[in-house]
Amino acid sequence: MLRKKNKKIKPSSIGVYVGLDFVGDGLIKLPFIRSLKQVFPYAKITWIAGTHKSEFKRTLSPLVKGLIDEVIEECNIGFIGVSEAKVSQRLNDLKNLVRPPLRGRKFDLLIDTQTHFLTTILVKTIKHNSFLSGCANFLLSDLKPISSFKRELNLSQRLVQLSEIALGKKINVPPPPLPLEKKYRNLAKLALPKNKNYIGFAPGAGDVSKCWKLSNFINVAKYFSEKKRIPVFFLGPKEEKWLKIIKKHAPKSVFPEWGEFRKKNIAGPAFVIALSERIRCALANDSGTAHMIDAGGAPIVKVFGRSLPGKYTGLTPGSLTIDSRTFGSTDINQITPKYVIKKIEKFFK
C-alpha cells in the first residue's frame, strides 16, 4: 500500500500540469511519462504547459509518440516566476479562481507536477474528479501517500512516485530502449557500427558555469584512444567551434552529429538517444545532453561543481556522479582527469 484510502481509480482522461518544458526538463520527466502510461495504459493523457511552451510539442515529440496524446501550451494557468511577471499578468492569473481554465474542460485525474503553492491553487481550479499534487506535503491533494512515505531526492524518481501514488503501489518503470522511429536507430548504427566499443563525451552545457574544461574532456578522450576505445563527442550547434580543437588534440574521436551523418530530418534528442544506445558509457557535465544519454540507457559519469548532484544523478544502472566537493571545492575544475579516468575504467573491466 502506498496511498491512504487505497480505493482504485481508473481514469479515462488524465491532465498533467507543468509550467514549461525545456529539453532538459522534458527528459527528466520521461520516466514519469512512461510510468503513467504503464499504470493507466488506456487513459488519454493531456500535457498542460501552463505558463510557457513545451518541447514535447517540438524536439522531444518523437520520444512521446503513443505516450502523450495531446500537448496544450501557454494556457495562462499558474504563476510565472516573480522576476518575470508584471502586475497585469498576476491579475490575469487570478481570473482562474472565478473562471474555470481550459474552457471548463474536465479530467478524471489531474496531476500537478510542480510544488509552488499559489500555482497549485490555480491548477486545482481545472475541473477534475481526482487531484494529485505533492505541493505542501500533499496538503491540497485528493490522493495522499501513507504516513511513512518518503520523497526521492532525484527529480525523475520523485515524479515517478506520483504515478505510484495514483496506482496505490510501487512500480518498475520499463528501462530503455524508448519507442523511436527506425530512422534514428538506422543512422546511429551507420555512425557507430562497432556497438559498445565507444565512450561518449558531452563537454557542453546550457549554463557554462557547469562546464568542466574542454581540455579535461580531451585529456580523458586521448587516454582512452590509446586503450583502443573510440571517443564519441556529442556537440550541439553552440559547440561547433570546438570541432577543430578536439580533432587536433584527439584525432581518433568521432562526431556523429556532424559531417557525413548530419541530416536535417534525423537530428536532435531522438538521434542522441539512439546513439547513446550504442556506447559503453559516457562522461558529461550536468546538461540536457547528459539527460539524453541517460535516456538512451548508457551509464553516465557526471561531473558537478557548484550545483549539488543528488537531484540530477543518472537513472541508468552503473551511473555515478563526481562532486568537486570531494576535492574540497565547489570549483568543478578541481576535479582531475586522472580521477575521472579511474571511474570510467571500471566500465571496461
| Within a domain: 175 | no
Same domain as 160, residue 197: no
Residue pair 57/71 in contact by the 8 Å Cβ criterion? yes
d(C-alpha 299, C-alpha 253), whole Å:
19
| Within a domain: 3 | no
Same domain as 326, residue 190: yes
Same domain as 256, residue 192: yes
Domain boundary among 106, 140, 167: 167
Structure confidence at residue 89 (pLDDT): 64
| Within a domain: 34 | yes
| Within a domain: 173 | no
Same domain as 187, residue 134: no
What single letter denotes the amino acid at residue 32? F
What is the count of structural domains for the chain? 2
Q: Domain of residue 86: give its range.
A: 13-167
pLDDT in tens, 249-258: 999 999 999 9
Domain boundary among 105, 133, 167: 167
| Within a domain: 118 | yes
| Within a domain: 6 | no
Same domain as 218, residue 132: no
What single letter denotes the amino acid at residue 348? F
pLDDT in tens, 275-294: 999 999 999 999 999 999 99
Take residue 186 and report the three cell numbers written for it.
538506422
Same domain as 122, residue 191: no
What single letter denotes the amino acid at residue 305? G
Structure confidence at residue 92 (pLDDT): 67
d(C-alpha 288, C-alpha 208), whole Å:
12
d(C-alpha 283, C-alpha 278), whole Å:
14
Structure confidence at residue 6 (pLDDT): 62
Q: pTM of the predicted model, to two decimals?
A: 0.89
Same domain as 195, residue 149: no
Residue pair 235/255 in contact by the 8 Å Cβ criterion? yes
| Within a domain: 294 | yes
Instruction: Name which of 323, 263, 269, 256 is nearest 296 in CA terms.
Output: 269
Same domain as 200, residue 99: no
Same domain as 29, residue 72: yes
pLDDT in tens, 183-235: 999 999 999 998 678 999 999 998 999 999 999 999 999 999 999 999 999 99
Same domain as 114, residue 228: no
Domain boundary among 167, 192, 223: 167
| Within a domain: 159 | yes
Q: CATH code at 110?
A: 3.40.50.2000
pLDDT in tens, 15-63: 999 999 999 999 999 999 999 999 999 999 999 999 899 999 999 999 9
Same domain as 234, residue 86: no
Write down the H helix ranges in the chain: 23-39, 87-93, 117-123, 155-167, 182-191, 214-226, 242-249, 269-276, 288-295, 337-345
Same domain as 220, residue 344: yes
